[in-house]
Amino acid sequence: MNLNVDDRVTIVQLGGTPWDVGPGTPSGLASVYEAESGSVAGGAAVSGDANASGGHKVGNLHVGGASVSFQADGGIGGEGTLAITYATSIVYPTKSLYVNGALVKQLVLPTTGSWSRFAKLTTTIPLQPGSNTIMIKNNASDYGGIDVDKFEVAVNGPAGTGAATAPFFDSFPSAAAAGWTPYGGTWGVNASNYVVDRGPGYKSFATAQGFADGTLKADIQSAAGGYAGVVFRASYPGVGRYAFNGYFAGVDSGGGVILGKATAGANGWTTLATVQTAPASGYYHLEVKATGSSIKVYLGSSTVPVIDTTDSSFTSGMAGVRADQTSARFDNFRIVP
């Protein structure tokens, strides 16, 4: 893991004004967290520095296992922007960035030329609604030391393709499955079905397709062992069973229906509702209607939802399909605003 192309560095000139050596820092970094007010562990220590914003900084982050962490408000959750103000005379030290216990990336920090000359590294992070634990740690794979002055966090809102829901339909006529981005598993098209092998939360998203309020439909067939279904209002997708922010509605081979939500930063899962319906042979027609906090799940041709609940954790994002601990076939994937 290396410095992302969207990470930015701003050098803060002592007695002067900041200047950029990369793209401009995004606006809205409203919440400021002094490093010395956070939690230090593993040998990290607070020391004074007249050039630091609060007169103090956290150092000794070259020690194995040393860390500094703090609690940040994630608002409604989704994508966030983190700015780290730091100083180092080391050439390109690295530090591991964790959000809610999950390793997000390894940061590569350009030298500032002095332990009292500060720079600001800006990067994006996943945030869950409410409180988030953000930590900088020196792992065995990291190198060098930095002194941290402060952190700034902005909540950008749900990541993904935007809030708008646009019409979309795919019956998978092409073997290339153009317009889909998979995360985990082996995906392909067979007999005009989008198919995936069995594994932990394999998912694929309709590329550049937003979903906020609307109806999501798909025909789904799964093997025994797990659920297959649709993901919606999703952001921050990655490889991993619960590596996304958003909702999942699925059905198993025996007619069991589930609705839940995943939180990427915490790599966690919350079941919102489950229900057992009559088993059916062949494909299940699954339909989700999401309007504001209202989420309704339908099965087959029934106009009565099998699940009718509310949740306001996620309001917009991406839409796609997911199979958890089962192989699956998907057809007639449709989004209706």
Q: What are the residue ranges spanned by the domains of the chain?
A: 8-157, 168-336
Same topology between domain 8-157 and domain 168-336: yes
pLDDT over 80 at 256, yes or no: yes
In this predicted model, what pLDDT tens digit does every residue of 184-217 receive, in sequence order? 999 999 999 999 999 999 999 987 678 889 999 9
CA quadruple 123, 127, 131, 134: dihedral sign: negative
Name residues whose C-beta falls within 8 Å of residue 191's C-beta, 6 or more positions apart in sequence.
none
Strand partners, 190: 193
- Return d(Cα 76, Cα 319) in angstroms, integer: 19
Homologous superfamily (CATH) of 168-336 is Exo-inulinase; domain 1 (2.60.120.560)
pLDDT reported for residue 264: 75
Homologous superfamily (CATH) of 8-157 is Galactose-binding domain-like (2.60.120.260)
Q: Which of 106-120, 160-174, 184-198 has the lowest mean pLDDT?
A: 160-174
Unique residue bearing structure tokens 């990427």 = 264
pLDDT over 60 at 172, yes or no: yes
In this predicted model, what pLDDT tens digit does every residue of 232-245 receive, in sequence order? 998 878 788 998 88
- Return d(Cα 227, Cα 257) in angstroms, integer: 8
pLDDT reported for residue 221: 95
- CA–CA distance from 258 to each of 143, 179, 247, 297, 298 (Å)? 45, 27, 10, 9, 11
Across 103-129, b (16+ Cβ under 10 Å) vs e yields ebbbbbbbbbeebbbbbbbbbbbbbbb
